């Protein structure tokens, strides 16, 4: 869990950061659709799980830029950037109709990530508790797959003034639109370290990664 401290006086978004941590503490969220036609076909052809493939590409995108790896240390009032952030995926327990968080590690190598993330899910199926351990996982981002619905909008609410910087990501089932498979993806980030460009950029980068991955 290596990180570096960000000098707030030289931070390239210092004016925005000051405003949205002092004057107007707020977050922002966006829902847009991602074309996953080729990724779904690739996953089926290779006998792999689509949602883990998608999670890998999403994690790759979020690790490609420092803005997505920021964390606020409230005890010391420090802004830090981690070398790497990892996904918290979820497993659904049919018998209790509850979910359990699953801490996975992002590996740049696809097969290493896939095998590890799949094993994490299988192990988590044996436990039914909501075993959240955020204190020991400060550089993990929430990545939740809502498999039951292809929705149009989604919003995560956090307490006013709570400076939670890691991205919160949700996505639903893909559905066919004009012959393409479109997946709803929701991204929540704190406005102090992200704006419309940075949130929209996740979608742009993700589409490029999908296109490159399936070639």
Q: Helix, strand or coil for residue 204?
A: helix
pLDDT higher than 90, residue 153: yes
Report the alpha-carbon distance of residue 162 to residue 138 in Å, rounded: 15
pLDDT higher than 90, residue 19: yes
Confidence at residue 117, expressed as pLDDT on a 0 to 100 scale: 98
Based on its alpha-carbon atoms, the radius of gyration of the chain, rounded to whole angstroms, reads 17
Q: Are 149 and 172 in contact (CB under 8 A)?
A: yes
For residues 121-128, average pLDDT: 89
pLDDT higher than 90, residue 152: yes
What domain count does the chain have?
1
Q: How many CB atoms lie within 10 A of CB 124?
A: 20
* Helix residue ranges per DSSP H, the chain: 14-18, 37-46, 50-62, 110-124, 196-213
The structure tokens 């829902």 sit at: 31
Kindly indicate the confidence band of residue 60, based on its pLDDT and cuts at 50, 70 and 90.
Answer: very high
For residues 127-144, average pLDDT: 89
pLDDT higher than 80, residue 161: no
* Predicted confidence (pLDDT) per residue in 168-179, tens digit: 999 999 999 999
CATH of the domain at 182: 3.30.559.10
Q: Are 195 and 187 in contact (CB under 8 A)?
A: no
pLDDT higher than 90, residue 55: yes
Kindly indicate the confidence band of residue 9, based on its pLDDT and cuts at 50, 70 and 90.
Answer: very high
Question: Which residues form the domain of 96?
Answer: 3-213
């Amino acid at each position: 869990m290596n990180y570096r401290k960000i000098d707030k006086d030289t931070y390239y978004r210092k004016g925005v950061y000051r405003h949205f941590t002092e004057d107007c503490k707020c977050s922002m969220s966006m829902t847009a659709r991602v074309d996953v036609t080729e990724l779904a076909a690739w996953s089926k052809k290779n006998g792999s799980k689509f949602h883990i493939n998608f999670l890998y590409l999403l994690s790759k995108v979020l690790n490609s830029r420092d803005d997505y790896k920021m964390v606020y240390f409230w005890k010391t009032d420090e802004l830090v950037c981690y070398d790497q952030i990892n996904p918290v995926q979820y497993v659904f327990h049919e018998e209790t109709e509850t979910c359990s968080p699953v801490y996975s590690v992002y590996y740049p190598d696809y097969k290493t990530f896939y095998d590890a993330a799949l094993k994490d899910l299988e192990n988590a199926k044996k436990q039914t508790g909501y075993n959240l351990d955020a204190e020991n996982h400060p550089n993990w981002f929430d990545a939740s797959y809502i498999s039951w619905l292809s929705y149009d909008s989604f919003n995560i609410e956090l307490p006013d003034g709570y400076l939670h910087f890691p991205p919160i990501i949700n996505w639903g089932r893909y559905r066919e639109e004009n012959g393409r498979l479109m997946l709803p993806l929701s991204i929540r980030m704190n406005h102090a370290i992200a704006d419309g460009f940075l949130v929209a950029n996740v979608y742009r980068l993700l589409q490029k990664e999908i296109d490159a991955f399936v070639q």
